[in-house]
Structure 1
Amino acid sequence: MDSLPRVSRQVTLAAHPEGQLQSAHFTLVETPLPPLGPHQVLLRNRWFRISVSTRLMASREAKEIKGIPFPALKPGDALADAAIGEVIAATPDSGLQAGDTVLHSLGWRDYAVADARQCTVLQRERLEPAAYLGHGWTAYAALTRGTHVNRGDTVFVSSGAGAIGSMAGQIARRLGAGQVIGSTGSPGKAEWMKRSLGYDAVIVRDGRPIVTQLAEAAPGGIDVFVDMVGGEQLTAAVALAREGARFVILGALIAELNAEGSTSIAPTEIDSFQLPIKGITLRGYSACEDDPGAFDEWMQRLNEWRHEGTIHLPCTTFSGLDNAPKALQEACAGRLKGVVLVEL
């Protein structure tokens, strides 16, 4: 026991960002590790996830928000997110032992003391971090619980290169979509989305009206819209919706990543008369709140699809805890692809 670490390095919020988030808004500190209490384990983190929602929760006016699995931050608070760690010490009543690999919620640090009852044991063989830390299950739940895809549907996915969107386009195809359209912020990512993710067409936010580009990509209209962005893209989707179209709203990046400052308010102008005329259903959805049980089903489907070679897990990985703030800065700037992970 004398060889166990006595301190943990962790990333804390140094100051609330004003405008664009920078890595300088965070600092790396050492904090003493408490002794283990009942049902607790000491973990050495191996990987943790970077979520752009951290930008919103680091804002001065942030409050707890349904669907975001970590609290609002004040200066001095340690960040947290989903992580994979190795048990290096455990109390007898924890049910775990040294060497176990677990999924837990205390990322953004190298060591963590966690309640074993809040940890999920993972198989170490062929462990792929992006499968457990990625948002494929969020996309899967949205497309099978939040809404549904009929064979031949035209599906539009906003932020199609991001953690959710990079999986949603692939999953929609596996579920029978006939055409899959995405959106992104750069031509380079658009080409990658078509080449690597199988998107049929990609709308680039290049100043041209989104509704014009969407009409060109889907002249017959869209049946399903998976939205992480809001704003002009939601407006365009309503305008181009077919009769009986289904919208599932997972977030509003136009507010979370607003250049003037992150906010939870995302005003959008839509032609609401189109909703009853076309019979459009529009549902706000949070997989972790509404259907957490979908995760196990997703992992089973993922294994099947990966065995068939019909799906992959896009991921951008940074190395070292020191680089975690930079990873968040780059993710919030829209420069990265897929789920963003830090490997320790």
Structure 2
Amino acid sequence: MSHTTSTQVQLVTRPRGWPTHDDFRTVAVDYDDLAPGQVRVRNDFLSVDPYMRGRMNDAKSYIPPFVLGETMTGGAIGHVVESADEALPVGTLVQHDLGWRDIAQADAAAFRAVPELPGVPLSVRLGILGMTGMTAYVGLTAIAGMTEGDTVFVSGAAGAVGTAAGQIARLLGAKRVIGSAGSAEKVALLTEKYGYDAAFNYKDGPVRKQLAALAPEGVDVYFDNVGGEHLEAALDVMNDGGRVALCGVISVMNTAGRPVGPNNMANIITRGLTLKGFTLGNYVHLAPEFSQRMTAWFGEGKIAYDETIVDGIEHAVDAFLDMMRGANTGKMLVRIASDA
């Protein structure tokens, strides 16, 4: 056993509008020798995700806000480097929520052992094979009740959840899959790599006009990662009985004032639409179903993925801020270990 120092990122100010580097600080935390039942983990990858922005506000939500002056948490994967628990010996690959630090130390119960997948990067367990992929799967199946032959629209389609949602919709038998993204390069990626039938750059003009032009027969399922103008546009083109899975509102998360809602809410009534918000914590019972189906698709070469990787715990805040501005394609990750 030995003492060690962990580099960690803490929130020191609750952002008003867009977060800045001044809202965070990087600190060195000394860990004592392990207590019985504890393990020490060197993180290989950390996940930065849009939901973390919501946790920076002191507001009631499905998950408690970050505590000012304490190290933030989030998804991570790494290897046990010291252990005082027989269930997790040195060398075990573990997944956990003690992100935003290079080294984590806690009771063994805070970590979940996962098998190494030959030839598969560790990072995919934080992305397409992990929470990201499952979010897309749950939104389409359990929330929107997608069926074969549906036309599906996905906003924020070049992000981690969006790239997964488009492919899953296609594999579940969607007739047509439409996506939105924030650059011409990302739009091309959606149609050339991720199975989207059509896509548009929301920066090129009004979303309502662009979506209507690509969905002349309407939309049956809308997977909403964005909110705002995209939700308003979707309500314009939803078919009778359409279903909307409300997953995120990244377009308005950094608005200092109260965002304006859609002006066509009456369509929900006249077209018999169903809008349902969800968070993954309420659907963990679907993890085995998702794992079975996604592992099979992945093994058959039917799933593509992209990752945007930033190196070093000292650049974790940069990665988060870039992700919030849409600089990533696919999953945004922070690589901690140089050999990961």
AA paired with 1:65?
A: S
Q: Is residue 181–residue 200 contact of structure 1 (8 Å, CA) maintained in 2?
A: yes
The partner residue of 1:21 within 19, 22, 33 is: 19
SS in structure 2 of the partner of residue 256 of structure 1: coil
TM-score, length basis structure 2: 0.90
Counterpart in the other structure of 1:63: 59
**Counterpart pick for 2:310 among 306, 318, 322:** 318
What CA distance in whole angstroms lies between the structure 2 residues aligned with 1:295 and 1:145?
12
Percent identical residues: 34
Q: Is the 1:63–1:72 contact (alpha carbons within 8 Å) kept by the matching residues of 2?
A: no
Cα 1:333/1:272, change in 2 over 3 Å: closer
Q: Tell me which residue corresponds to 2:66.
A: 72
CA distance in 1, matches of 2:143, 2:113: 28
When structure 1 is superposed on structure 2, of 8-17 and 308-317 the one drifting more is 8-17
C-alpha change, 1:257 and 1:162, in structure 2 (3 Å) is: farther
Q: Which amino acid aligns with 2:185?
A: G
Structure 1 residues 58 and 147 mapped into 2: Cα distance closer, same or farther (>3 Å)?
Answer: same
- TM-score, with normalisation over the residues of structure 1? 0.89
Once residues 175 and 125 of structure 1 are traced to their aligned partners in structure 2, the CA distance between those partners, rounded to angstroms, is 25
Residue 137 (structure 1) aligned with residue 134 (structure 2): yes
- Distance in 1, matches of 2:82 and 2:13, equals 34
Distance 2:273 2:18 in 1: 35
CA shift digits 1:180-203 (9 cap, x unpaired): 111122222111222221211112
- Where relative contact order (Cα < 8 A, 6+ residues apart) is larger, the structure is 1
Deviation at 1:229, TM superposition (A): 1.1
List per-residue Cα deviations over 1:255-304 (Å, max 9, x = no partner). 2133xx4x7x654124333223222111111122x211222322221221
**Aligned twin of 1:178:** 175
Instruction: Tell me the distance in 1 between the aligned counterparts of 2:214 and 2:295.
Output: 32
Q: Give, in whole Å, the separation in 2 of the partners of 1:64 and 1:162.
A: 26
Amino acid at match of 2:279: S
Contact conserved, 2:11 with 2:66, CA < 8 A, in 1? Answer: no
Instruction: Report the count of equivalent residues.
Output: 331
Instruction: Quote the RMSD (CA, aligned, Å).
Output: 2.0
Which sections of structure 2, spanning at least 5 residues, go unmatched? none
Aligned residue in 2 for 1:51: 49
Whether the aligned pair in 1 keeps the contact of 2:157 and 2:163 (CA below 8 Å) is yes
Q: Cα distance, 1:18 vs. partner? A: 4.0
Q: Could you tell me which amino acid in structure 1 is paired with residue 96 of structure 2?
A: H
- 2:227 aligned partner: 230
Correspondence for 2:251: 254
Q: What is the CA distance between 1:108 and its match in structure 2? A: 1.1
Residue 217, structure 1, aligned to residue 214, structure 2: yes
Contact kept in structure 1, 2:207 and 2:230, CA below 8 Å: yes
Residue 163 (structure 1) shift: 1.7
Q: 1:284-334, CA deviations, whole angstroms, 9 ceiling, x for partnerless residues? A: 11122x211222322221221122221122211111111211111211111
Residue 280 of structure 2: aligned partner = 287
In structure 1, runs of 5+ residues without a counterpart are none
- What does 1:259-270 correspond to in 2, within 5 Å? 261=256, 266-270=259-263
Contact in 2 for aligned 1:64/1:72 (Cα 8 Å): no
Matched, 1:309 2:301: yes
Q: Residue deviations 1:109-162, cap 9 Å, x none?
A: 111112322321111242533432120111111111112222121100011111
